[in-house]
Amino acid sequence: MLTDDVEIDVIGQHLDHCEHCQSLLQRLPTIVDVGQSGTTQYASEISAELLARRSREFSRDAIPRKIGKYRIDGVLARGGMSTVYRGYHPTLQQTVAVKSLGGTRVFSEQSRRSLIDEQKTLGKIRHPSIVSVMDAELDNGIPFIVMEHVSGRNLAELVRQDGRFDLVDACAILAAVCDALISVHLSGYVHQDVKPANIMLTDDGIPKLLDLGLAIHETEESPRIGGTPRFIAPEQISGHMRPNTRSDLYAVGATLLFLVSGELPPDSRDPDYEVKVQQRVRSMPPRLRSTALNLLKHDPALRTQSITEVRDLFAEFGSSSSRINLRLAIGDVRPQRRRRSFGVVMSIIVVAMLGSISLLFSKATRWHSVKPFEHPYFVISAADTPDAPGLLSRQQAANTGKQIDTVYPRPSPKNSVWSHSGNQIACIGNDGVLRVYDVKDDRIVDVHLLCCYNDSDVDMPQICWLGDDRQILVGASIRYPLQIWDVQNQTCLYKIIPDSEVLATAWEPGLRRIAIADERGSVSVYSQDAALLRERSVIPSSPIKSIAFDPKGERLAVLGAHGVLRVISVSDLATSVEFDLATSASSVTWHPDGDRLFAGTNDGVVVEIDVSSTGNPMAHHELGRGIVASIQWNRKGDRLAVGSWDTVVWNPNLDSIDKLTQSSSYNWSTVDWHENRLLLASVDSGLTIWDADNKSETRLMESSLQQVLSIAWNPIRRQAAISTMTGNLFVIDLDGKLLWHDDPTEGNLALGSLDWSPDGSRLCGINEWQQDLFVWDAETSSLVKTHTVENGVLTAAWLNDNVILCGGTSGLLQIVELGAAESTAGLKLDGTIRDVSRNTLGTLAAVANEGSGVYIIDMAMVDAPAISKNFLEGESIRSIDWSPNSKELAVTSNDGQLRVIDAESGVARHTLKNQPLRPQVARWSNTGTAIAAGDYGIFNANGLQRNRFIPINCYAYAWTIPEGPILGGTWTDTVNCFADDSGTLAWKLILHHSGSATLIRSDGTLLSSDSEEFKVTPTH
């Protein structure tokens, strides 16, 4: 084993000069345990095995006649700890590869059984560019794994025997490899050992990723560290950082160098490493050269982050390959030329995992005739849907305007800024999409998905133009890196990976510098090419809410959340002067004279500060209402725009105030000047340009407040009820057609927590703003009851056909008996009630409580409910749902965990944590075999292995008919129908303020709810 850096150095130096060893290296099994800090749980067992092997004769010639039920017909390959045989599957009657881990006799029984269980899980995974596992068992105590039989040669052999690959073929191969790695990463795993010897090229021209044995799950507390010298990432060698997806990206870059040069990539520990890498990639096309250099960065934080982007680039350069069958590997969009023959190719089996002890599972993600559906965002044509104005995106036009996966919905703007020329506007909505709007041509010129998040995920998305009209710095939260986005070429040039939540950014045009401030109180300064220049803790342990360069670019104003305002030098980030506003604040801006600062507080006051004054420097102006989230002077310094719950423009010379917008839902606006034009972005009011001279406004984009809050499926009537943030109720059929609509809150916000009665005849929902409980009759499609319930109600659920349970911030579980004069007092619990679910018989209620965990309430006597059990005490539980058999509960918590717990004992049978997104809700499938978790995807209920990650921000899920369509409601105005848990999109439904809707079918057909084809007469 390699456990010493000196030993690795010696071997590395030898490899530089020994061609025989370089060749041998490509044929050797993976080297395990690189790095001292990566000691694995199997290290002692592997060491014991090596010692045991030295002390005994091991016959390498003996071939068993049978392993398990599989007939053995010969040896395909031998490795240090395993042998791969050609076998015969008696049931399928086909040739297979049987890998016997005969060198693992000294492994513990627990280790062997764990290995087998893992392989069985992997057997469910399929991808065209990953070798599939068919079976795994023990034979006389020895583990064996059965895999598909493939004919071909690995890339190391091909290079050694036939010479290096041309660039087109190499890119085509790596496009397939990256597509396979996407499946690996979406499953939560890191491969750890991507290299030419672990990539097979089949006789059909399909690349196959091998040797997933070192794969580690991102949640492993003591991950197995491994890899192969020259292809292993620097962070894996040092052991100072756990491997992640960026480690695999490094190996992809190293493999690219090997394929196109025929030589091993440079040693990452070589002092001249970067120079040697640049020499290798010098002849590549500029875009590919830039990507290769990024992949091979020493620092993983500076490495290219998106493997999807890398795959797309490789596919673009490799699409003309006649040797690699991209159509079968990942479904390339271009027609394939006839593959020319390789010549005589020996038929061998994929020798997977030699010298390894675990196999990575992956989930199939294939390209089809068009790129796969990756997100649900779209802009639709005003001509097609007058009720939802928008513009065709460039991608949609390129795809004949008919592709459902290229449409983006209208968002609620969260932040927007002018370009320096004033010809373009960049806007980020609550859907996580960047839109660039051409003011002159009145059209959207670029649409880019940044992330999937909801309003509670970020304080405010960051966005600013850099220097000209070509580049934008954009970002959303710690879960997604800051990106420097090239608008013209629609590509990400650089990414900045912050260590903490970024709360503020600023651009200094003189020396072209970017300032970034975070929630820990630190300020960082970067160059325009994302190189870190300096970093310093400016307001320790205090979130920095706003930063601003002075007009000369020499000083930076830094505003802490608690009202501490410091002016620091840009050259060294040292503080020159400090002020205490004595109140919480959110925004700061310089006056054009450079002597005064203006800070917006959280109580609507703007504080004027004379930085040059030695006396009392502060004056207070009551200009806003609520949080002043955005504040900016125009260039002349005669108008100050204040974005709070109201948006106002103050003219200090005339002492006049123009009120532009007024929020009824406590959402603030962002403001940005260009000359005399003010750009306003508001979740309430949309995107607006206000002309200060003419005092007129132009509305660019209406806001969408139709965020889907709840979806409930009626299995008896086969209908789905949908509620939105604007208080609208939509009832649809399984084809997405609108059956009926209601607006019970009359425009008041937040209709949620829908639930159908067990007999399917009635529907209930709540409005937390008015403390109302609504009940509709499905037969008459009308509202029949309105009950006033406890203040702060958040959830409601039917206990039986006549009783509804309600709960909220008061902690009171209320019991509403229909027909009774008023609800009974119910049961008082500690903490906030977030969710309620009943068991199948209606005798028990499970309550999700923020602060007190899970309560099981005995409801056998409705008028005398009693606490039966209390699980997960002290935890903040967000959602809860009984399994169909009433034996288990699916539980999500505010710390990001998804758990399946035993309803009797409260013991967690399965737990999923440390995920990049927080689950909003979790709901069981009708069969009890799967769980849909908002923001997470679809999981197998037994073990919480992801069946499918649907990369959308679904706040609400609903399962329909058994194993059938799944409905997902987004934080935009869209409901997505997935045909099954494979993630195939069947249709989209756009919900409008007026109560109408637009249906977009999978073939791109648009249907308005006003059309005859859309209208449906409900079946009563």
CA dist list (Å): 172 to 194, 366, 367: 16, 15, 14
| CA-wise closest residue to 768 among 731, 800, 793 | 793
CA dist list (Å): 459 to 428, 667, 920: 13, 12, 18
CA distance 595 to 610: 6
Helices (H), strands (E): how many in the chain?
13, 71
Cβ atoms of 317 and 171 closer than 8 Å: yes
Q: Which of 135, 179, 193, 469 is catalytic?
A: 193
Task: Specify burial of residue 69 (Cβ count, 10 A radius: 0-12, 13-18, 19+).
Answer: middle
Q: Vertex 70, ends 65 and 71: CA angle to 5°?
A: 35
649: CB partners within 8 A, 6+ apart: 639, 640, 641, 642, 657, 658, 660, 678, 690, 692
Q: How many CA atoms lie within 13 A of 813 on its CB side?
A: 32
> What angle in degrees, to the nearest 10, is found between the helix axes of 167-186 and 245-261?
160
| CA-wise closest residue to 504 among 548, 538, 537 | 548
User: Which residue type is seen at 940?
Assistant: N
* 245 membership: H or E segment, kind and range: helix 245-261
Residue count of the chain: 1020
Cβ atoms of 321 and 327 closer than 8 Å: no
Annotation says 193 is catalytic? yes
168: CB partners within 8 A, 6+ apart: 317, 318, 320, 321
Q: Which residues pair with 94 in a beta bridge?
A: 89
CA distance 953 to 975: 11
Cβ atoms of 147 and 99 closer than 8 Å: yes
Cβ atoms of 407 and 460 closer than 8 Å: no
User: Which residue type is seen at 209?
Assistant: L
| CA-wise closest residue to 881 among 854, 860, 911 | 854
User: Which residue type is seen at 777?
Assistant: D
Cβ atoms of 312 and 490 closer than 8 Å: no
| CA-wise closest residue to 34 among 73, 61, 3 | 3
Which stretches does DSSP call E strand in 885-1003?
888-893, 898-902, 908-912, 922-924, 930-933, 937-940, 946-948, 954-959, 966-970, 974-978, 985-991, 997-1001
| CA-wise closest residue to 349 among 515, 129, 200, 497 | 200
CA distance 306 to 288: 15
CA dist list (Å): 763 to 711, 712, 796: 11, 9, 11
174: CB partners within 8 A, 6+ apart: 252, 255, 256, 259, 314, 318
| Residue at token pair 């709901």 | 923
CA distance 388 to 365: 32
Q: Which residues pair with 340 in a beta bridge?
A: none
Cβ atoms of 926 and 715 closer than 8 Å: yes
Q: Which residues are the active-site residues?
A: 193
